[in-house]
Amino acid sequence: MCHYPGSENHMLLPLRPLTNVMLLSALASGPAFAQRPAVAADSTKTATVRRLMELTKTAEAIVRGMEAAVPAQRRAYPDVPDEVWDAFLARARQKLPQILDSLVPVYATRFSQAELNELIKFFSSPVGHHLSDAQPEILRESLEIGGRWGEIIGREIRDSLARSGGPSAEFALQSQMKSDLRNLITAEEAFFADSVKYTTTIGVGGVDYLPSPDNKILELRLTKDGWVATMGNAKTKTICAIFVGSTPLAPAVEEGRPACQQGPAQ
């Protein structure tokens, strides 16, 4: 794992989307909800809602949803230390009682006591039990499938923009190069985990890494405590750079975060 100064400044960036996923996961364990203001529930309704959340295994769905979301967030933010994700999951599990408390008025606002009783009756049945048991895995697989399709669709749009010409194409090409440089961090860290050193070798005996079509590593060299790299693309004069360690490489000024600027033709 790469630990370097300055990572603390942006390690909280992914936590907001993860929090959203966490709450969506909780809501996914029951019927779909519209956005309406919650109201306080009486003791009978509160007890019924809590029983419904118990039957529908809402707490388990929240945990599964977060656990399923974290791997994608790790890939999207490779410069965030692993212990941040572990701490987030641990803290979220501690907060489950409060999260469930906050969900009580969400149900109470949208269902009458009679409707809640009918839901209790259904989820107490064999079919309802089966649905509750299956939902966490359905949610996990749905998030994984959604994540994979999101990557595919994002890549297709980026490639389409890259072929279109003009400012959109330049933006897409830069995004593609930045993504490839972030992937290089992942590859280098995997090599470091096995060899306790970084490498400039790509392929056999080095990092398992393949950039996108038309992207090319222009420079990859080791520094006293890390490495630096630049990348170009046959369709643009822009050059993107990244560094790990304490040796900056223009235009990159923040460790682990790629930056681009116009350069000589490749």
pLDDT single digits (tens) 201-237:
999 999 999 998 889 999 999 999 999 999 999 888 9
Are 68 and 140 in contact by the 8 Å Cβ rule? The answer is yes
CA 20 to chain centre: 11
pTM above 0.85, yes or no: no
Which residues lie closer than 8 Å to 184 by C-beta, 6 or more apart?
Answer: 207, 209, 217, 220, 229, 242
- Token code pair at residue 69: 């979301």
pLDDT at 39: 55
pLDDT at 150: 79
Q: Give residue limits of the domains in the chain.
A: 7-159, 169-262
Q: How far apart are CA 33 and CA 109, in angstroms?
A: 10
Alpha carbon of 137 to those of 131, 134, 140, 209, 259: distances in Å? 10, 6, 5, 32, 39
pLDDT at 235: 86
pLDDT at 9: 34
Alpha carbon of 50 to those of 29, 55, 103, 147: distances in Å? 13, 9, 9, 31
pLDDT at 25: 46
pLDDT at 71: 81
Regions of the chain where pLDDT drops below 70 = 1-41, 79, 158, 162, 165-166, 263-266
User: 156: part of which helix (H) or strand (E)?
Assistant: helix 126-164
Q: How far apart are CA 69 and CA 75, in angstroms?
A: 11
pLDDT at 86: 87
Residue 76: which of 171, 154, 161 has the closest Cα?
Answer: 154
In DSSP terms, 226 is beta-bridged to 223
Q: How far apart are CA 140 and CA 65, in angstroms?
A: 6
- Token code pair at residue 10: 């942006």
Q: How far apart are CA 51 and CA 48, in angstroms?
A: 5
Are 183 and 79 in contact by the 8 Å Cβ rule? The answer is no
